Every structure is written in structure tokens, then in C-alpha cells.
Amino acid sequence: MLSYIDGNIVDEAHATVSIRSRALNYGLGCFGGIRAYASDDGKQLFVFRLADHVRRLADSAKILFLPLPISTSELSSAVLDLLRRNDLHEDAYVRPMVISKTAKLAPLLREEDASLVIWCMPLQRYIDKDSIDVCISSWRRTPDNSIPARTKPTGGYLNSALARREAYDNGFDEAIFLTGQGMVSEGSAEHVFIVRNGVLISPPSTEDNLDGITRRTLITLATEDLGLSFVERPIGRTELYVADEMFLCGTGAQVTPVRSVDRRVLGDGGIGPITKQMGDHFQAVVHGRVDDRREWLSPVWV
């Protein structure tokens, strides 16, 4: 695979940073996760909500004093160009990252150290199960006033890795974080939705979680396309146990149904009707089957 590093397209094996870089030693950086989806006839590849992902990365970089070294329009073009150069015609994942490339000692964020790298890979399913079993993690989500989740910080994912390892060790597929105040935040890398009495519910992005693009997409699709009732509000731990349905969502996870929480089976244990409706419609949108949502898709092959 070919990758992008500071304006150059190089073989992935040569897209390297120093072992002394602050990005490696201190986790100084942020990233975006972007999906591209093949059309049903295989002739086109659509990048989903590219402008929104690039804008969020620019905002993240600004917060961390690691500004994008190129404009957002140039970054969008670089993402599309990289997919073309890799001759990708199947579902794919793209990760642009802004990192601190300096090899100086001490964890210090400086504008002049910003380096932009982009890599991509074919990707079908991030979670290879039709539905998953989750647990409430004993680890708490890092507060936004400590490490801001809004920035998708590279170093902050140690928090996610610890929670996911704990979940795996105890026989679960994924972990759900609570905030320091004990309210539901998100999964290790996904947002949370539940269904109760026909109403779709999700905690706000102020619960120490990312301002998720997939989450916002699903809210729009639910309320505008599918006519579903949606409420954004805090969710307590035990409310997950009595939800009629639950699913996780994200760029990687897409719409992933949850079968149980802390070994409490939800509903009848199957994929609930609203979860299925949401998942099916999301897939139709990202693969270019819904004309009214084509503005979210950036074609690679033109």
C-alpha cells in the first residue's frame, strides 16, 4: 500500500517516523477515521462525509496546537488521490493523522512540529459479528477536561485499550464506559444508542465522548428519513439493562447490534426492529442507493 506523509506519496514501508518522536513517546497527535464504500455495481467508490471528517480533524488539530499543514480542501483531495493511487475499488478505511514529528525530549505541543500522514486499507467489517455482548467497564472514560475526546487524541486510546482488554478477558466483545459521574459515555470506540418504548435515545456528546459523525448521521436518518422519535439525554448504567434494543455505532463499527449488557439479554436476544431498520438504511445511504443523501458521498473515480 502507498501512504501520504507531508506531501509525498511513499510506499508504506518508508512512511516512518523517528523512534524518538513525541508522537510515539507521548502520544502527541490526533486522527480521523474515514470510510469509503463501493457502489453496488462496483464501478464507484464513495467516501462518506469527507468534508465533515476533514473539518473535525482540523478542529482537533487546532485544539492540540498541531495545525493542519495544508488546507482542508487540499486534505480532502489528498484522501481521494491516495485511494486512487492504491487502486481501491472495494470498501476501505482511511486514517489521516496529525502528529508531533519532532524528536525533542519532553511532552510539549508546538505548532511547528505538526506532520500530516494518511494511510488506507481495504476494510469490510470492523466487528465481525451480527450482534455482540458488552459489559460495563471498571475503567472510567477520561474526562474531556483531562484529555479531550473531541480531538480523537492518539494518546487517549490507551483508555480504550484497557477497557477493551478487560472486556475480552471476561468473555465480552466490547466495553461500555461510564463517566466519572457514573453516566453512560460510549464504547471503547463507538457511540451508544438504546431503544425504549419505541423511542431512540443517545447520550449527548458532552458526556466525555466524541462528537461523532456517524452518530449525527444516524440521528438525521432516524428523524428525517425514517420518522422515528429521538431523544438526546443522559443514560444511567441500569437503564441499559432494561432497554428494548441497543446498538453501537461509529466509522468502524457502523451499526452494530448489542445482544446483552453485563449478561442481561436485551429484548428476545435478537436484532430489534429499529436497530435493523437503522442499519439497513445506513448501508443503503453509504453505498449510494439513496438519492436524497448523495451529498454526503464523494466519488473517488471520476
Integer-rounded Cα Rg, in Å, for the chain is 19
Q: Which of 43, 62, 152, 276 is catalytic?
A: 152
Using alpha carbons, list the distances in angstroms from residue 68 to 62, 75, 112, 170, 202: 8, 9, 10, 40, 31
How is 182-228 classified by DSSP, letter by letter? SBEEEESSSEEEEEETTEEEE--TTTT----HHHHHHHHIIIIIS--
Would residue 129 show up in a list of annotated catalytic residues for this protein?
no
Strands 229-232 and 199-202: parallel
Q: Which three cell numbers stand for residue 270?
A: 435478537
Q: What are the DSSP E strand ranges found in the chain?
A: 2-5, 8-11, 29-31, 34-38, 45-48, 92-100, 114-122, 132-140, 174-178, 184-187, 191-196, 199-202, 229-232, 245-250, 254-261, 264-265, 297-299
Q: How many whole angstroms separate alpha carbon 198 and alpha carbon 171?
A: 30
Grid look-up 484497557 returns 162
> Helix (H, G, I), strand (E, B), or coil: what is residue 91?
coil
Neighbours of 212 (CB within 10 A): 20
Q: How many whole angstroms separate alpha carbon 240 and alpha carbon 177?
A: 12
Q: How many whole angstroms separate alpha carbon 66 and alpha carbon 168?
A: 34
Please count the CA atoms within 13 angstroms of the CA of 119 that sit on its side-chain side: 11
Q: How many whole angstroms separate alpha carbon 245 and alpha carbon 200?
A: 9
Catalytic residues: 152
